């Protein structure tokens, strides 16, 4: 049974997920499985329910119906912070970082949440070298070594994006949800960010929402097309670009380069 | 270490030295009483700032924690005849417990709704204490004769001697706040204030952190309440009223929240103003209002913020 096989190897499994805001059905009966090591891109027009779906998976909105499993655990009713602790990292479409802290303080704080629950409170946070070590490791990974002591508000948009990604990477999550990691990034910064994403997705499963089809084509193993809160199609990138239905409903002229 | 700045250590040091020097400069009971009053209110304001400045919880109901601390200590000493030290512990417990209840009731609300909820809960306690629990609270007349410590054969009814008790607890509070601020817990609370959504997403239990902060804040408020009761040797339901909550908000904002000295400076300003003007005009509170409005417009970071700007120049 193919369905059974894919479920046992999937790290994230969403079954018949629906989200409603009052009378509006934002996500309707969506089932998506994410295999270990797979990068799955979620594309579709604005209002297709992509971000709402990410919010449902990370726990920010509650489900009207459906189940979500992370590995062997059912996380449908688990609060956000426990999903995060269980290995679900996410970045936001709009930069969402600790804006009155330096880069180091941002990353160290993220490292802290996993390091201990109740800690001896008289020791200053700087007396825990493991936190700073992890913060520096991740800073090196996302290219922020030179900016460690700068307040994040002084960074360029692209560097703030790197902090955003760094915060998600600190606990080394098994599953990473990236909501438009290239949003607002300048043209010159797209290529380095692309390389960073390539590096980040190694060894983990990624669910990616992105409007830049060039990027999607280069890093996604598979693509899910969402329209009107429902899954229209799931396939390999090449098949998606050639689908007449996808082109009619979403891509239009965007895909001309690939056709 | 970025959390503890040299300028902060220096200003706190100067402040402590000033209060330590006061009994040597003046033997006047009135002035010592005023200085002790300022330190007592400072403990309250520093406690309040754990909730407001550090965690971002704007509470309008801290009078409840303050007043319950005052009453817990008074009951322990007056009715049960327990020593002062036990009264202080009871006050810290009562302040913390009240805050825990407030935090639990308000666990689902945030922002302005949280502020209004704390105001209403505190008013509820105040009203119940003045009416239904009149036999316990003494009603509007309050309870006179709240004792001071009795130990080592020292006469703590002497203003100078009791001054040192308050001074010691004031220093402990300053140290506690400094340690908390630079601790991992303090950093997590800072994170909650700056970005609760991100805090949750990196794995912090934001609700539990808010509750912890409010409880710690309530403990210090309760301590301050007990000290005030003992200083005035009197406790009344006025300590539970909304005006107390308002005063601590004004003092903290005036001085500058989020800094170790800000709340203390704010308390000092308000108390000196009260002392200087209340004798000449009964409208001194109106003048305080004008000063407060000017401050929020021109000094949004309070007097301590102004000091920081001048320091950097």
Q: What is the mean pLDDT of residues B13-19?
A: 90
Spans of all domains in chain A = 2-97+173-257
Nearest to B238 by CA among B67, B73, B76: B67
Residues B185, A121: C-beta atoms closer than 8 Å: yes
User: Of B103-112, B156-165, B207-216, where does mean pLDDT reach its minimum?
Assistant: B156-165
How many Å lie between the alpha carbon of B205 and the closest alpha carbon of chain A? 6
pLDDT confidence bin for B60, thresholds 50/70/90: very high
Predicted pLDDT at A31: 94
Assign domain A2-97+173-257 one CATH number from 3.40.50.970, 3.10.50.30, 3.40.50.300, 3.30.930.10. 3.40.50.300
Q: What is the mean pLDDT of residues B199-214?
A: 92
Residues A98, B191: C-beta atoms closer than 8 Å: yes
Residues B195, A99: C-beta atoms closer than 8 Å: yes
Predicted pLDDT at B131: 87
3-class DSSP state of A58: helix
3-class DSSP state of A147: helix
Residues B4, A124: C-beta atoms closer than 8 Å: yes
DSSP labels for chain B? --SS-HHHHHHHHHHHHHHHHHHHH---HHHHHHHHHHHHHHHHHHHHHIIIIIT----S-HHHHHHHHHHHHHHHHHTS---HHHHHHHHHHHHHHHHHHHHHHTTT--THHHHHHHHHHHHHHHHHHHTTTHHHH-GGG-EE-----EETTEETTSHHHHHHHHHHHHHHHHHHHHHHHHSHHHHHHHHHHH-HHHHHHTT--HHHHHHHHHHHHHHHHHHHHHHHHHHHTEE-GGGGSHHHHHHHHHHHHHH-TTSSSHHHHHHHHHHHHHHHHTTT-TTHHHHHHHHHHHHHHH-TTHHHHHHHHHHH-
How many Å lie between the alpha carbon of A109 and the closest alpha carbon of chain B? 7
Predicted pLDDT at A257: 44
Q: Which one of B5, B202, B208 would you mutate to disrupt binding with A, by most A Cβ within 10 Å of its Cβ?
A: B202
Residues B204, A113: C-beta atoms closer than 8 Å: yes
Residue B174 or B161, more confident: B174
Mean pLDDT per 10-residue interval, chain A, length 259 residues: 50 93 91 93 90 93 92 91 91 91 93 68 76 91 91 90 91 91 85 88 92 90 92 89 81 51
Predicted pLDDT at A4: 42
């Amino acid at each position: 049974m193919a369905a059974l096989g894919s479920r046992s190897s999937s790290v994230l499994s969403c079954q018949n997920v629906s989200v409603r805001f009052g009378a509006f059905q934002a996500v309707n009966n969506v089932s998506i499985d994410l295999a270990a090591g797979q990068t799955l891109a979620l594309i579709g027009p604005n209002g297709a329910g992509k971000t709402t779906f990410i919010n449902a998976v990370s726990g920010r909105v509650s489900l009207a119906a459906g189940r979500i499993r992370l590995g062997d655990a059912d996380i449908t009713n688990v609060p956000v912070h426990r999903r995060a602790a269980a290995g679900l990292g996410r970045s936001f479409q709009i930069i969402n970082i600790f804006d009155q802290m330096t880069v180091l303080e941002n990353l160290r704080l993220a490292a802290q949440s996993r390091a201990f629950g109740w800690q001896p409170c008289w020791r200053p946070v700087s007396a825990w070298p493991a936190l700073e070590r992890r913060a520096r490791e991740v800073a090196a990974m996302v290219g922020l070594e030179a900016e460690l002591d700068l307040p994040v508000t002084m960074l360029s948009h692209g560097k703030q994006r790197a902090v955003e990604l760094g915060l998600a990477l600190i606990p080394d999550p098994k599953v990473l949800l990236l909501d438009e990691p290239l949003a607002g990034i300048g043209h010159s910064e797209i290529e380095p960010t692309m390389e960073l994403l390539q590096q980040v997705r190694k060894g983990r499963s990624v669910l990616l929402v992105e409007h830049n089809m060039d990027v999607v084509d280069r890093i996604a193993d598979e693509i899910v097309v969402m329209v009107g809160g429902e899954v229209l199609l799931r396939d390999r990138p090449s098949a998606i670009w050639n689908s007449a239905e996808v082109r009619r409903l979403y891509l239009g002229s965007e895909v001309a380069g690939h056709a | 270490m970025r959390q503890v700045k040299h300028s902060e250590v220096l200003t706190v040091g100067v402040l402590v030295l000033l209060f330590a020097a006061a009994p040597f400069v003046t033997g006047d009971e009135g002035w010592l009483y005023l200085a002790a009053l300022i330190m007592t209110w400072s403990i309250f304001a520093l406690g309040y700032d754990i909730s407001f400045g550090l965690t971002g919880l704007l509470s309008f109901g801290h009078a409840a924690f303050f007043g319950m601390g005052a009453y817990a200590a008074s009951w322990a000493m007056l009715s049960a005849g327990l020593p002062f030290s036990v009264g202080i512990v009871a006050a810290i417990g009562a302040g913390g417990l009240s805050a825990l209840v407030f935090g639990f009731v308000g666990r689902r609300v945030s922002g302005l709704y949280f502020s209004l909820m704390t105001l209403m809960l505190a008013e509820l306690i105040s009203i119940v204490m003045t009416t239904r629990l009149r036999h316990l609270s003494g009603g509007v007349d309050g309870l006179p004769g709240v004792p001071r410590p009795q130990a080592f054969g020292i006469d703590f009814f002497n203003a100078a001697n009791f001054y040192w008790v308050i001074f010691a607890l004031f220093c402990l509070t300053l140290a506690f706040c400094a340690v908390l601020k630079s601790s991992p817990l303090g950093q997590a609370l800072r994170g909650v204030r700056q970005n609760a959504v991100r805090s949750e997403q990196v794995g912090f239990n934001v609700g539990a952190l808010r509750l912890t902060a409010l409880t710690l804040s309530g403990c210090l408020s309760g301590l301050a309440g007990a000290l005030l009761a003992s200083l005035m040797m009197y406790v009344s339901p006025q300590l539970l009223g909304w005006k107390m909550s308002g005063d601590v908000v004004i003092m903290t904002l005036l001085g500058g929240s989020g800094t170790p000295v800000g709340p203390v400076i704010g308390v000092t300003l308000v108390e000196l103003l009260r002392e200087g003007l209340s004798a000449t005009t009964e409208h001194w509170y109106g003048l305080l209002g004008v000063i407060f409005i000017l401050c929020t417009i021109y000094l949004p970071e309070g007097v301590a913020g102004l000091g920081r700007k001048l320091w950097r120049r």
